[in-house]
Structure 1
């Protein structure tokens, strides 16, 4: 298999490269806008590629000719998507359309990474066939990107996930675990919501789930997340306990405490039966994920 991955400067993209390059009979083309942020440059090819530029996409695709494409790049900052809608649509929908067209020319398998935010949070956890009803523009854009695939004529899959955490090299963004840990280590008080529920996903598990689907050229929608439904407050307490930090710095809050342009769904979460049965997906618990994350940070 020759796989091309978009967004390899991001958290998921970096872990996809790391896991794929360890697989025999697999060649990897890593792509992102700008320079490569991975320190290890062995075992894969890096090609700068701006997914908003169809000419650049076409050039890279024709040169590298992958038989599988994993599209992990996206604009995921929920509030920015709400206030910068044109940019969000270009990044999340139009770019996916360009990539689908390039995949069609190659006859490549196409995988799109999507989100729990396509749901309204009224009836979670959700199975794959639950009706979407996004409550913010980010979720709307990702749903629109998903809808490009069934009529594309491609072999395709959508991998939906939730609140990804883990360690990246030269990370452009933080995540809930890193934010809580850094805040408590510096002695800073933090307010964390108790009225939202998510299934936090270890990035190593998400990458493994994407690879399981790509190896099988699995078709359709698959939910890949952690297995525990937790509030961010619950997560923060577990992070404090695991790293021996002061839980007294963690204050309860609800969503109304924060002024945010984008509405958040209250309770998402996924039913994982399909991914377990069809892909053999097995996620870590949140506590196990913290251990994996700590070990990875030490390497």
Structure 2
């Protein structure tokens, strides 16, 4: 049953990746001719033709597309025009930075959201519940790019406590992680609170209380597991959005991840790197969503059937 489920997910993801390949190919070609960027404006026509032939840009569009699909199916994304290296190699050098940033941030988001949301649900209407509700609404409504700019101005420029960009020390990670932390934390905290309120009002929780089980064990052992299913859905969605949407934050903080690499490659019309960046990110999101679906089955055996 599980193998059949994984097979169906793999097929649906392959179809989505196929559509993405077609979309990326034609959209990148709309950005313009790379020869105008990489060669001087007064370069002779012969030099322009040689450049196009070298990078396969002189063939008819349908021929370019056929070669492009064939190469992608063989995991060959071509060569980076800007770096004169295999595009996949360039992307795989940048991807661990984005993955580390996303994993660390989502780990902190999940930990704090579950703890605060569970404690808020334990005393609905209390001071802690009200404060956490206000905090979650503000966090979920705050645009990340604005927080990034304000954070740089206050903590890097005015106070000089943190560096503005780079990855040299642990302090270089503080602002990017903090900015990426805020919005997912607000959203997940709201879902944890609502889910835990429902779980804590269930009959099995009332039975545990009647048996004298401690409040902490009721919240974090009995209720949390049953309240986690909707939370995992939101965590997966936010994690995928973080992998896919760290472009702005990486660009603002000069973070050497896939997001910044993709923006630079689009501006420099480095088609091969753009394609490789999108495909690697899409594959990572597919694997993550598959793992989340498998986690559903672990938490609730009924889902397996």
Q: TM-score range by the shorter chain?
A: under 0.3
Q: Which has the larger radius of gyration?
A: 2
Give the number of the structure whose residues are more often strand, by fraction. 1
Give the number of the structure whose residues are more often helix, by fraction. 2
